[in-house]
Amino acid sequence: MLDKTNYFDLDPVDPCLVRLSEDDRPLRAALLRGWRLRCPNCGTGRMMEGFLKVRAACPLCHEAFYHHRDDEGPALVTILMIGHLMAPLFLYGFLSPRPDAFLLAMVFCAGTAALSLFLLPRWKGMMVARQWSRRMHGFGGNSDDDGQPR
């Protein structure tokens, strides 16, 4: 049975403020913060340093991000999602209005590129946030690496 007494603690500085204990990292909130490219811990600091480079730590709450592992995951998910979105649209555009093939190719190339640029950093943010939420790869304090930023 789950012990519910350890989920909330009173803040020692301000007893009226209730804070969550360290063991509570809700996945949904973390994923939404990752989608917005924000720190999964505080929700306000920027997670990304550039387009796809994850910061070593949050500039506001100083939560470390250097031990994240996402490799090719965000790119694969982006390709999969865009393929499933664009293929039916391409088929519909080819069969129903029957535009010029060059125009159809240009519109769908531009749409695919725009969607890729929009979705790729968001998927990466969500993958880092999921790792943080589930305490994977050193986010839980038990580091499985050498402790050095990559």
Question: For the chain (length 150 residues), average pLDDT per consecutive 10?
Answer: 46 50 78 95 93 93 88 93 94 86 92 96 94 85 52
What pLDDT shows up at residue 70? 82
| Closest by Cα among 109, 148, 129 to 45 | 129
What pLDDT shows up at residue 119? 96
SS3 (DSSP) at 9: strand
SS3 (DSSP) at 97: coil
What pLDDT shows up at residue 142? 57
- Residues 6+ positions from 28 with CB-CB distance below 8 Å: none
